[in-house]
Amino acid sequence: MSSDQAMWEPKYATRAARMQASEIRELLKLLDEPDIISFAGGIPDPALFPVDLIRTAYSDALGKNVGAHKLLQYSISEGDPALRRWIAGYMAARGVPCEADNILITNGSQQGLEFLGRMLLNPNDTALVMAPTYLGALQAFAASEPVYDELSLDPTNRTAASYADAARAGGGDVKFAYVVPDFSNPTGETVSLAGRRHILSLAADLDIPVIEDNPYTTLRYEGEAQPFVQALDVAVCGGIDQSRVIHLGSFSKVFTPGLRVGWVCAAKPIIRRLTLVKQASDLNASALNQAVMCRLAEQEFDAQVARACKSYRVKRDAMLEALAEHMPKGSIWSTPEGGLFVWVTLPDGFDTAALLPKVVADARVAYVPGHAFFADGSGCNTMRLSFSLPTPDVIRDGIERLGAVLKSADI
Amino acid sequence: MSSDQAMWEPKYATRAARMQASEIRELLKLLDEPDIISFAGGIPDPALFPVDLIRTAYSDALGKNVGAHKLLQYSISEGDPALRRWIAGYMAARGVPCEADNILITNGSQQGLEFLGRMLLNPNDTALVMAPTYLGALQAFAASEPVYDELSLDPTNRTAASYADAARAGGGDVKFAYVVPDFSNPTGETVSLAGRRHILSLAADLDIPVIEDNPYTTLRYEGEAQPFVQALDVAVCGGIDQSRVIHLGSFSKVFTPGLRVGWVCAAKPIIRRLTLVKQASDLNASALNQAVMCRLAEQEFDAQVARACKSYRVKRDAMLEALAEHMPKGSIWSTPEGGLFVWVTLPDGFDTAALLPKVVADARVAYVPGHAFFADGSGCNTMRLSFSLPTPDVIRDGIERLGAVLKSADI
């Protein structure tokens, strides 16, 4: 054995240089110590998982021999027809009349993001994303080596021509706009109706699709629901098969992320192409898990949404009250109408990434430094707080401890 | 609504042109009619699925509240530690001493193929594949826009330099050699020990990884097991972390494809990179499904392998006997020592793709035309027959009917 052999590694594709670890997921691994109050995760509260219902659904699905054999076999890449019909009904009830053939089942909506990046982006093409935006989307798109430009909701800020010019200067074209319209990860904010119309207008001018990533939409605790961007487009373009909006949905935040079931709703030609991507990528999602999710959705969707909203609303209120009491003077934060996140901007001079070790050590509290959510790495004085996991009392305690360390920080 | 809008479609990435439907999976959709005898699928026999065991495993996994909550939550991208330890033991017992950190869990081994293509291939890089080879691998690699060159097992046929020169002429480098060494899909053939050594020697000369895709390996009905290519390499290179072989394994053929659980076994630096790809792609495989598969493996792997081998051996024998009796003069076919497939080469002049509609209509029998498995589309007089699904009697009947139509064909 030579030392050359010991150092053997393959030559990676150039895109591999863009594949980086998620700070959040790496952070999660370090937070198993029981005395840490974690506002970092942003994962749903397991106390809300309908465990008994899920156990019964698996037992019943596997109870009939013929049906069980089918659910344990390879299955079609598009996904379970009954589940796709249920989702089509869900979308239709929200202003997007469509059929099962407009739906592709994915392993969580994360997989839909990766598929869309792969299908749409050549290296150096531009993806328009808000700043900050969902970190997992930046990671999903990264393998396709895009350039990012900031999707601004202020119509006076940037013209379609300026986006197109910037993209050409970067060696590609603008390929899509990406938005999490409801209770965004990481900010918790909701895009206004005017903002939604502006995105559609900009996309029309650029002749690009809009990727509407909407996993939190049903978790609304107050205020009026805004129409899906896809619904606004469908209302004027003539129907889902003429729409430029590609909608991603998920059962992970409402029921459980453990079955890995999400979906893409889009024009049939787009779904047909994505189905080929699914086929090449992992053949199909588990038919068994899809059947179980279909039963959960058919039986319990509205009731489960109501249960989740009731619980999360109290937690959100606890966090907002505690922030008002304990944050350093000059801090501001979002007031989310739903979802799992509050976005805090500390006064200039704070560096939330540099402070995190001290906060974990002294306050036994964890959060996600905000700069990870900016494609350009800015946002050093921001942080994402999730209220999903701790109880209201623990949230109050944690925010108080966090505030104390922040106020004592030598900035 | 203008007709322009009605025709709206996004501009796809150039790689999208390479994403094509699988003839096999499209074919499967058409074969639901109950009177068709299908030798086309190549899917495992559902009668062998241990349904009761799987139902009990789900029920038990979801029976304990704390454990259930963890299995229904997001989980680490690497996969379930207990399952990875079991797989490491499986690999060690087959000459590849390794640890859980050498294993990544994927949604079936198909996902491992797609990840490796994405991680290793720049556009116009060369992948060395046998002719014919697994169609799903060609599809998985396609998104990375490779060039294919034929991996020959005859050492006198091609030199490393000739492969490297051809790749450079095509605008890239040779990036890996891909092989299904045991009871290959589609041929059912097994690569000899000399062939395995030749692949390793060639890979060393080219300084490239070898992707060893081995989903059928435990389904051996006769003859002596050949060592894994990875075991041969590990024996000389000093250990798994110095090995250039990346091994893909699957539970789909032994237990069920329905849980979508496969794995990659490789040097830790490669696994760490693939874990980032997994994270960006779909975060993690279902923790619940992994826990269930872990229990199946721990409790029943050897017994299940024995059951499957006993059943498939009888079916294989029935097919080989019937082929000898009914195929047109001048036909030859493989004699697989395991797996699910027999590869038939008809005399020159037969076109199995052109004949398929007639065979389906007249004989009510289906197969897969062989040309789909050649990167260059050759192999027009070949077909893949799977003996996994029909009973032995139905296999004999189907081959007799197939033979009758072939013999009457006007070629």
Q: pLDDT value at position A31?
A: 66
pLDDT tier, A347 (very low <50, low <70, confident <90, very high otherwise):
very high
Say which residues have a Cβ less than 8 Å from residue A82's Cβ, sequence separation at least 6: A291, A294
**Which tokens hold the place of A91?**
């979308």
Sequence-ordered list of residues with C-beta below 8 angstroms from that of B358, at least 6 positions apart, any chain: B405, B409
Would you call B18 an interface residue with chain A, using a CB distance cutoff of 8 Å? Answer: no
Per the omega criterion (within 30 degrees of 0), is the bond before A392 cis? no
CB–CB of A8 and B62 under 8 A?
Answer: no
What pLDDT score was predicted for residue B32?
Answer: 65
Residue B242 is classified by DSSP as G
Q: Are A314 and A45 in contact (CB under 8 A)?
A: no
Residues of A in contact with B77 (CB under 8 A): 25
pLDDT, residue A351, reads 95
**Least confident window among A3-12, A136-145, A345-354:** A3-12
Tell me the shortest Cα–Cα distance from B388 to chain A, in angstroms: 13
The confidence score (pLDDT) of residue A24 equals 64
Nearest CA in chain B to A30: B76
Over residues A228-250, the pLDDT tens digits come to 999 999 999 999 999 999 999 99
H-helix or E-strand containing A247? strand A245-250
Tokens for A324?
A: 């008002």
The per-residue pLDDT for range A102-158, each reduced to its tens digit, is 999 999 999 999 999 999 999 999 999 999 999 899 999 999 999 999 999 988 889
Tell me the residue length of chain B. 411
- Three-class secondary structure of residue A301 per DSSP: helix
Tokens of B113: 């193929």
Quick count: other Cβ atoms within 10 Å of Cβ B310? 11
Number of neighbours of residue B60 by Cβ within 10 angstroms: 15
Q: How many CB pairs under 8 A join A and B?
A: 273
Contacts of A42 in chain B (CB under 8 A): none
Provide the whole-model pTM.
Answer: 0.95
Nearest to B258 by CA among A64, A283, A66, A280: A283
Per-residue pLDDT of chain B (411 residues; tens, 9 = 90+): 344 444 688 989 998 888 877 666 666 666 667 889 999 988 999 999 999 999 999 999 999 767 899 999 999 999 999 999 999 999 999 999 999 999 999 999 999 999 999 999 999 999 999 999 998 999 999 999 999 999 999 888 899 999 999 999 999 999 999 999 999 999 999 999 999 999 999 999 999 999 999 999 999 999 999 999 999 999 999 999 999 999 999 999 999 999 999 999 999 999 999 999 999 999 999 999 999 999 999 999 999 999 999 999 999 999 999 999 999 999 999 999 999 999 999 999 999 999 998 999 899 999 999 988 887 778 999 999 999 999 999 999 999 999 999 999 877
Whether A31 contacts chain B with CB within 8 A = no
Q: Which of A20, A77, A144 sits opposite B13 (nearest CB)?
A: A144
> Which pLDDT belongs to residue B161?
96
Q: What is the mean pLDDT of residues A25-48?
A: 82
pLDDT higher at A375 or B149: B149
pLDDT at A26 over 70: no
Q: How far does A178 lie from chain B, in Å, by closest CA?
A: 14
Which three-class secondary structure state does DSSP give residue A278?
helix
Only one residue has tokens 């109880």, namely: A391
A282, B62: Cβ pair inside 8 Å?
no
* A73 neighbors A285 (Cβ within 8 angstroms): no
Predicted confidence (pLDDT) per residue in A294-343, tens digit: 999 999 999 999 999 999 999 999 999 999 999 999 999 999 999 999 99
Q: Indicate the residue type of A95.
A: G
Mean pLDDT of chain A: 93
Verify whether the Cβ–Cβ distance A71 to B258 is below 8 Å. Answer: yes
> pLDDT band at residue A5, thresholds of 50, 70 and 90?
very low
Joined tokens for residue B55 = 């139902």
Whether the CB of B401 is below 8 Å from some CB of chain A: the reply is no
Token pair recorded at residue B279: 């994270």
Contact, A181 vs A233, CB < 8 A? no
Q: B12 at the A interface (CB within 8 A)?
A: yes
Among the partner-chain residues B29, B136, B283, the one whose CB lies closest to the CB of A76 is B29
Question: Residue A311: which of A31, A47, A134, A23 has the closest Cα?
Answer: A47
Euclidean distance between CA atoms A183 and A193, whole angstroms: 14
In a 3-state reduction of DSSP, which class is residue B126? strand
Distance in angstroms (rounded) separating the CA atoms of residues A404 and A402: 5
Is a pLDDT exceeding 80 seen at residue A285? Answer: yes
- Counting Cβ atoms within 10 Å, is residue B35 exposed (0-12), middle (13-18) or buried (19+)? exposed
Q: Which of B1, B10, B284 sits opposite A209 (nearest CB)?
A: B10
Please indicate if any CB of chain B lies within 8 Å of the CB of A66.
no
**For A175, nearest residue in chain B (alpha carbons):** B11
Largest CA distance in chain B: 68
Residue A21 sits at the chain B interface (C-beta within 8 Å): yes
The C-alpha atoms of residue B257 and residue A75 are separated, in whole angstroms, by 9
Return d(Cα A406, Cα B323) in angstroms, integer: 79
Percentage of chain A beyond pLDDT 90 is 85
> Alpha-carbon torsion A52, A55, A59, A61, what sign?
positive
A10 to B286: CB separation less than 8 angstroms, yes or no? no
Peptide bond just before B186 cis, omega within 30 deg: yes
In chain B, residues with a C-beta closer than 8 Å to the C-beta of A284 are 260
Contacts 24+ apart (CB under 8 A), A195-201: A195/A153, A196/A226, A196/A227, A196/A229, A196/A232, A197/A232, A198/A153, A198/A155, A199/A151, A199/A153, A199/A229, A200/A229, A200/A232, A200/A233, A200/A244, A200/A245, A201/A155
Rounded-to-integer distance, Cα B49 and Cα B46, Å:
5
B72 at A interface, C-beta within 8 A: yes
In order of A230, A265, B254, the CA distances from A101 in angstroms are 16, 9, 32
Which residues, other chains included, contact A263 with Cβ-Cβ below 8 Å and sequence gap of 6+?
Answer: A79, A84, A87, A103, A104, A105, A106, A109, A112, A248, A249, A250
- Nearest CB to B8: which of A51, A244, A289? A244
Q: Does B260 touch chain A (CB under 8 A)?
A: yes
Interatomic CA distance for residues A58 and A292, integer angstroms: 6
With 90 as the cut, is the pLDDT of residue A223 above it? yes
Helices (H) and strands (E) counted in chain B, each on its own, are: 14, 13
Q: Is it the case that residue A227 has pLDDT exceeding 80?
A: yes
Residue B226 DSSP symbol: P
Residue of A nearest to B284 (CA): A260
Chain A positions in Cβ-Cβ contact with residue B9 (cut-off 8 Å):
267, 269-270
A385 burial (CB, 10 Å; 0-12 / 13-18 / 19+) is buried
Contact at CB, A69 and B77, closer than 8 angstroms: no
Tell me if chain A has a CB within 8 Å of the CB of B282: yes
